[in-house]
Structure 1
Amino acid sequence: MAALTPAAGLGRGGLAGVAGAAAGALAQFLLVAVVTRAFSAEHAGAFFGATALALMVAGVAKLDAGNGLVYAIARAQPSGYQGTSGYVRAALAPCALVAVAAAWALHPWLGPLAPAVPVIALGDVLLAATRGFGALRPTVVLDGLLVPAFQLGLVCVAASVGTPAWLAPAWALPYLPLLVLAAADLRRRVPPGPCLPGAWGALWRYTAPRSAAGAVQAVFQRLDIVVVGALGGPAQAAAYTAATRFKVVGQLANQGLAQALQARLVRALAAGELALARELYQTATLWLVLLTWPVWLGYAALAPWLLRLFGPAYGGATPIALVLSATMMLATACGMVDVVLTAAGHTTASLLNLLAAVTCTLALDLVLIPGHGALGAALGWSAGVVVKNLLPLWQLHRRYGLRPFGRHTLTALARPTTA
C-alpha cells in the first residue's frame, strides 16, 4: 500500500499550525514595534519583562497537563471518548491551584498581570484538550489569531492614549475570551456520562514526570528577558526583546513540523523501524532549514535597518541579531532533536538536557549581563540553545545512529515511501 512521503506527512494540520503561529508571530512583532516607538525604553522594558515573567509562571503552573490530556483523550477514542470529563477535571484542578498560588506569591513582581496567570494557564490546558479530540482549529483560531490580534489592537489603543499603565491590562485581557471560548468548545466535544474510576491517577501517572520538563522548558523560553531586565535594567530588556523577536520564527516552524511528525516518529521508534525514523528525522530537518535559514540570513543582513523599525535607539542592537541568527541556524541544522529523543521514550534524558541548558544560560547571564547588558544575555541564551541541541544530537547518534542529514536529505522532497 502506497504511503505519503514524509514531506507530505506534514499534512494540513502541520501547515495550519505553522500558518496560525506565523500570524501570531507577525502580530507579536508589530506589538513590540508599537510599544517601543510609543513609550520610552524604560517603560517598554518593564512591560516586556513583566509579560515574560507572567508567561513563564503560567507555563510552569500548567504542569504539562495539556500534553497529558492529549494523551489520555486520544487513547479514549475507541470508547467514543467516554469518561473524558474526568480527565479534564483531574487536569484543571491542580493547575488552577498552582496558578493561583503562584500569582499570589509573585504579585509584587507581576503587578497587574498577576490575575492573568491562572487565566493563561487554564486556557492553554483547555485548548490542548481540544487537540486530544483531533481538533487543531481551536488552537489556530484562538491562540494563533484571536489573542495576538486583540492584544495588538488593545496595545495600539494604549499607545494612542500614551498611558504606560494601560499596557499590561491591554496585553492580558484577550486571554479571558480565549479561556471562555476554549471551555465552550471543549464542553461541546466531551460526551455526557460518568467519570471513569481512577481518572486522576491515570492522568497524573503519565503527566507528573513530564511536569518537571514542561516547567524547565517554560523557564528556558522566557528566562533571558526576565534576567536581563533584573540585571541590566528595563532599557536593556527592551533592546533585547526587540532584537530577539524573530526567535518565534524558528519556534513556529518547529512546532508545525512536530505536530505533523511526532506520532509517526513514536510509532516508528516503538516498532524498531530505524530506517523510517531516520527518513522522517532527516526530512523534517531539511524542511526546517529550507523554511528558516533564508529568514536568519536575511535578518542578519538587514538587522541594522530592521531594528530601526522599533525606534532609532534600537539600531545598536545589531550584534544581538547576529548572535540570534547564527544560533538559530545551528539549532535548525540539528533538527527536531528533542522531539525525536522524547518520541523514543527518553524523557529523563530530555529533562536533564533542559536542566543543563538552563544552568548554562543562567550562569553566563550572571557573568555577562552586568558588563555587556543585552548582548551578554544573547550570548548566554545562545550557549543554552547550543547545549539544548547538541546534547540530544549526540545521544541520538550514540543510541540509534540517527543524524539530521544523510542519504535521505536530497531525496526527501521527491521520493515516496511504501508501507
Structure 2
Amino acid sequence: MARGGVLNLAGAVLSQAALFLVMLLLARVLGVREVGRYAQVYAVLSLLGLLSLSGFRAGLTRFVAVHLADDDPAAIRGTIRLGLVISAAASTVIAFGLAVGAPWLARALHDPQLTGGLRLVALALPAATVCEAALAATRGWRRQRAYALIGQVYEPVTRLLLTALALFVGAGLTGAFWALVVASWSAAGLALVALARMLGRVPAARPVYRPGELFRFSTVSWVSSISSTGLIWVDALLLGFFDYGADKIGVYHVATRLVTVAVFVLAPINASFGPYLAHLYHQERWDEVRRIYAVATGWVVRLSLPAFVALLVFPEQLLRLIGGPGLAGGAAVTIVLALGQLVNAATGPCGTLLNMSGRVSVNMFDNLAALLLNILLNLWLIPAHGILGAAVAWAISLAVVNVARVWQVRVLVRAVPVTVGMVKGLGAALLALAAGFGVRSLVPGWGAQLVLGLVTIVVVYLGAVLALGLSREDVMVLRSVTRRGARRSAGGAGRGDATSVGAGRSAAATDHTGAGVGS
C-alpha cells in the first residue's frame, strides 16, 4: 500500500505546488483583484466540469475494473465509449450555454470584466471533461501512472509555465485563461492516447452497452461529487453575488489555496488505500479494515501537522510572502480555514471507507447536507462578516460532516481514527507550535520570522516524532519505499494491475465502488 501511494503522493505534491505558484504569479504580477477574478472563473469551470462529467469518473473506474475481471472485452469497450461520448456531448452543450450566458453571469457576479474569462473557460470545459473521463477509465486497470503523470503533473505544470509566459509577455489575466485552455486540450489529447494504448491490449470485440448499471451508479456518485466540489467553491461565488469585490475574493482564494496545500496528502492516500479497504471489507476481515483505516488516518495527520502548525503560527507572514502587505488582512480567515481542514485531516479517509463498503448513497447525503449547511451559513454570515463569515461557514460545515462520517464508520465497522501514533504526532505538533511562537516573539522582521520559524517547526516536529518512537507500520513503510529491492518488487506487483483482460480478477472485482468521492 505504501509503494502504491508514492506515485500519487509525488503527483499531488507537484500539482499543488504548480497551482500554488500560478496563484503566486497572478498575485505578484497582477494583484489580488485579478486573483479574485481568476478564482471566480475557475470555480465556474470546476462546478460545470463535474456537471458535464455526470458521475462517470467513478463509474468508469469501477465498471472497467469489473469488466476486466469478468473477461468481457465487449463490455469494456462499450463502457468506455458510452462514458466518453456522453461526457463530451454534455460538456459541449454546457460550454455553449456558458459562452452565450457569460455576460449575464458576469453581471450576476457584479463584475462585467469576467465575461471574457468565462468564455475562455467555456472553451476549456470539453477538454477538461474528456481528460477526466479518459483518466478515470485508465484507473480501471488498477494503474495510477497515466492519472498521476497527466492529470497531476503535466496539466498543472503546463498551465504554470504557460501562465508565466503569458504574464511575461504582458498578456495579463486573459493570457492566464488561455494558458488554462491550452493545458486542458493538450492534456486531453495525452489522456486519450494513454487510454487507447491500454485498450490496445484488450481483444477486439463489438462494443456492448449497458447504460442502466452505469447510470445508476454514476448518478449517485455525480450528486456526491457536485456537493463536495460545491462545498469548495460556493463561498467564492456567493461572495461575488453579495458584491464583496474581486479584491476581497482574491484574499479569500489565496487563504483557501494556502490551507488546501496543508492537507494535500489526503487525496493520494485515499486513492492508494481505497482498493485495499474495499477488498478487506468484501472479505469481512473487520479487524484489518479497522487497522488500515487507523493507519491511513495516522499518516494523513502526521504528514499534515507541520503545515498546519505553520499556518497557525505564521498566517500573516505566509500571506505577505504570496501577495505582499495587501493580503495580511486575511490572517484570521487563514486560521479559521486551517482549523476546519485540521478536523478533515484528523478524521481520515472516513468518506472513502463509506464508499468502498458500498455506502455511496450515505456519502452522497453527507455531502449534500454539508453543502446545504454551508450555503445557509454563508447566507447568514457573509452579509455581516464578509470573507471571515465565509471562512467560518466553510470550517463549520467541513467539521460537522466529517464528525458525522466518523460516527457512521463507528457504527458500520466499529472503527475509530484515533491511534497511539496520532496522539504522538499531536504531541510533537504542540511542541513545534510552542517553538514556532517562540521564534515569532523573539525574532524581528517578518521575513526572518518566517524562514527561521519554518525551519524550527520542521526540526522540532521531526525530532519529537523520532523521540516518541515510530510504530511498526511506520518502519515497514520507510523500508518499503527506500529499499531498491522493494521498488523492484513493486514493479512485479504492478503486473497485478490487470494490463490484460482477466488479470487481477478477484482484486478488481472487489473494488466495487470506484474512485472515492470526498474525504
Give the alignment's TM-score, normalised by structure 2.
Answer: 0.74
Indicate conservation of the 8 Å contact 2:32/2:246, yes or no: yes
Residues 248-257 or 58-67, more deviating: 248-257
**Cα distance change, pair 312–158 in 1 and its aligned pair in 2 (3 A):** farther
TM-fit CA distance, 1:76: 2.6
Q: Does 1:179 align with 2:239?
A: no
Alignment partner, residue 13 of structure 2: 22
Number of aligned residues: 408
Q: Specify the SS of the correspondent of 1:76.
A: helix
Q: Specify the SS of the correspondent of 1:244.
A: helix
* Equivalent in 119, 123, 127 of residue 111 of structure 1: 119
Q: Give 2:219's aligned amino acid.
A: A
Alignment partner, residue 41 of structure 1: 32
Alignment partner, residue 348 of structure 2: 335
Indicate conservation of the 8 Å contact 2:262/2:308, yes or no: no
Distance in 2 between residues matched to 1:49 and 1:408, nearest whole Å: 40
Structure with higher Rg: it is 2
Distance in 1 between residues matched to 2:343 and 2:124, nearest whole Å: 35
Superposition CA RMSD, Å: 2.1
**Cα distance change, pair 104–267 in 1 and its aligned pair in 2 (3 A):** same
* Equivalent in 78, 90, 96 of residue 88 of structure 2: 96
**Cα distance change, pair 229–412 in 1 and its aligned pair in 2 (3 A):** farther
Indicate conservation of the 8 Å contact 1:90/1:203, yes or no: no
Structure 1 unpaired stretches of 5+: 1-8
* Equivalent in 163, 166, 184 of residue 155 of structure 1: 163
Distance in 1 between residues matched to 2:58 and 2:206, nearest whole Å: 20
Alignment partner, residue 266 of structure 1: 278
Distance in 2 between residues matched to 1:101 and 1:196, nearest whole Å: 25
Alignment of 1:13-412 (within 5 A): 13-78=4-69, 82-83=73-74, 84-107=76-99, 108=102, 109=105, 110-162=118-170, 163-190=172-199, 191-231=202-242, 232-249=244-261, 251-309=263-321, 310-406=323-419, 411=471
Distance in 1 between residues matched to 2:303 and 2:49, nearest whole Å: 30
Q: Give 2:186's aligned amino acid.
A: P
Moved over 6 A (4+): 407-410
TM-fit CA distance, 1:143: 1.5
Q: Specify the SS of the correspondent of 2:54.
A: coil
TM-fit CA distance, 1:259: 1.6
Distance in 1 between residues matched to 2:361 and 2:61, nearest whole Å: 20
Alignment partner, residue 437 of structure 2: none
Q: Give 2:283's aligned amino acid.
A: A
C-alpha distance after superposition, 1:89-141 (max 9, x if no partner)? 11012212221222222331422211111111111110111111232111211
Q: Give 2:371's aligned amino acid.
A: V
**Cα distance change, pair 44–408 in 1 and its aligned pair in 2 (3 A):** closer
Residues 142-151 or 102-111, more deviating: 102-111
Residues 310-319 or 368-377, more deviating: 368-377
Distance in 1 between residues matched to 2:375 and 2:155, nearest whole Å: 30
Alignment partner, residue 431 of structure 2: none
TM-fit CA distance, 1:220: 2.1
TM-fit CA distance, 1:266: 1.3
C-alpha distance after superposition, 1:291-350 (max 9, x if no partner)? 001111112212211111222200111111111221222211111111111222211211
Give the alignment's TM-score, normalised by structure 1.
Answer: 0.91
**Cα distance change, pair 182–43 in 1 and its aligned pair in 2 (3 A):** same
C-alpha distance after superposition, 1:156-211 (max 9, x if no partner)? 12222343322211222201111001101111111352234343334323323322
Q: Specify the SS of the correspondent of 2:257.
A: coil
TM-fit CA distance, 1:265: 1.1
Distance in 1 between residues matched to 2:352 and 2:72, nearest whole Å: 27
Alignment partner, residue 6 of structure 1: none
Distance in 1 between residues matched to 2:78 and 2:384, nearest whole Å: 52
**Cα distance change, pair 153–197 in 1 and its aligned pair in 2 (3 A):** closer
Q: Give 1:326's aligned amino acid.
A: L
TM-fit CA distance, 1:240: 0.6
Q: Specify the SS of the correspondent of 1:115.
A: helix
Distance in 2 between residues matched to 1:241 and 1:27, nearest whole Å: 16
**Cα distance change, pair 197–275 in 1 and its aligned pair in 2 (3 A):** same
Alignment partner, residue 413 of structure 1: 473
Distance in 2 between residues matched to 1:327 and 1:412, nearest whole Å: 30
Indicate conservation of the 8 Å contact 2:63/2:79, yes or no: yes
TM-fit CA distance, 1:276: 0.9
**Cα distance change, pair 82–402 in 1 and its aligned pair in 2 (3 A):** same
Indicate conservation of the 8 Å contact 2:239/2:382, yes or no: yes
Distance in 1 between residues matched to 2:156 and 2:208, nearest whole Å: 39
Q: Give 2:473's aligned amino acid.
A: L
Distance in 2 between residues matched to 1:412 and 1:90, nearest whole Å: 46
Q: Sequence identity, in percent?
A: 24
Indicate conservation of the 8 Å contact 1:126/1:182, yes or no: yes
